[in-house]
Amino acid sequence: MSEPRIKCISRSFSAHPVLRRELLELFPSAILNDAGRNYDGAALSDFLKDCDGAIVSLEPVDDALLAQLPELRIISKYGVGIDNLDTGAMSRRNVALGWSGGLNRRGVAEMTLGFMLGLCRNLFFAGRQLRDADDWTKRGGFQLTGHTVGIIGVGFVGKDLIELLKPFGCRILVNDIIEQADYYRAHGLIEAGKDQIYAEADIVTVHTPLDASTRGMLNLDVFKRMKRSAYVINAARGPIVVQNDLKQALKDGLIAGAAIDVFEVEPCDDDEFMLLPNLFCTPHTGGSADESILAMGRSAIEHLAAFFKDRN
């Protein structure tokens, strides 16, 4: 068969010299997002029209888009979350999914550990006070060692975080919809309901996918049930946390602080929220370590290569 028509909509993939080279070595006529545009709506369908295979990252792929791409045969995911893909519609329209989970687990787990250390030892907020207000007050926080960590979602990232936490001797409460009693027992973890985690944890960190069951899971009612000394971390998906509720909880002192890498809407345009003195935030970089980017990009290429090789 003739060479398949491949298009890559992802800006970061398209700008990465190694991933560009490796994709074009296999598919020399592939079209990349060289304009660096953020495509949506009609522009997204126009870019992807007539392609047999597409590499996407966070772009929304729904039934309406697929209806305009009748020749599309596979979507290859550059990334690990698939909440932006209507997999049911893809199945109905016989569009394959190229995806592998957990490719950025170490990068996200390391970021989460960094958040924990920065929050506990007051590194983020003391540094901001020193820089912005010349405040030399020594508020050293507390050690992570020996404190209680609540992990909601014990999948790829959650398990990797548990490995990184071992030297700190934390009491670790875990919650997941999948039964994993043997794993919990082998690693000295305490299986707990979410209510117990909210009530007892010094740090609550969430590592679940975004779906109907997790959207808005951390809300004002939950924050009211946490310790006033507790910290919240979200390096998963923004809508898992009700952002305005977190904003209120931080302003009212319901919790001590938070560190987040993801937002309900990205880029976030709520400057008041991002500048709160007890919030530390980053621009969705948890999965953007050099190693993670290469792993996710190469996975997207490999799924395309395997799909079209099987059909030659």
Which residues are identified as catalytic? 237, 266, 284
Of the candidates 4, 28, 8, the one whose C-alpha atom is nearest the C-alpha of residue 16 is 8
Amino acid 71 reads E
Contact 297, 98 (CB under 8 A): no
In angstroms, the CA 223 to CA 254 distance is 6
Of the candidates 40, 53, 45, 48, the one whose C-alpha atom is nearest the C-alpha of residue 97 is 53
Here the tokens at position 180 are 């994993």
Task: Tell me if residue 274 falls in helix, strand or coil.
Answer: helix
* Distance from chain centroid for Cα 102: 11
Taking the CB of residue 180, how many other CB atoms lie within 10 A of it? Answer: 18
Contact 121, 137 (CB under 8 A): no
In angstroms, the CA 274 to CA 280 distance is 8
Contact 271, 297 (CB under 8 A): no
Strand order in the sheet with 53-56: 31-32, 6-8, 53-56, 74-77, 96-98
Cα angle for residues 311, 102, 112 (degrees, 5° grid): 155
**Phi/psi of residue 215, each to 5°?**
-60, 125
Contact 274, 250 (CB under 8 A): no
In angstroms, the CA 106 to CA 46 distance is 36
In angstroms, the CA 159 to CA 178 distance is 13
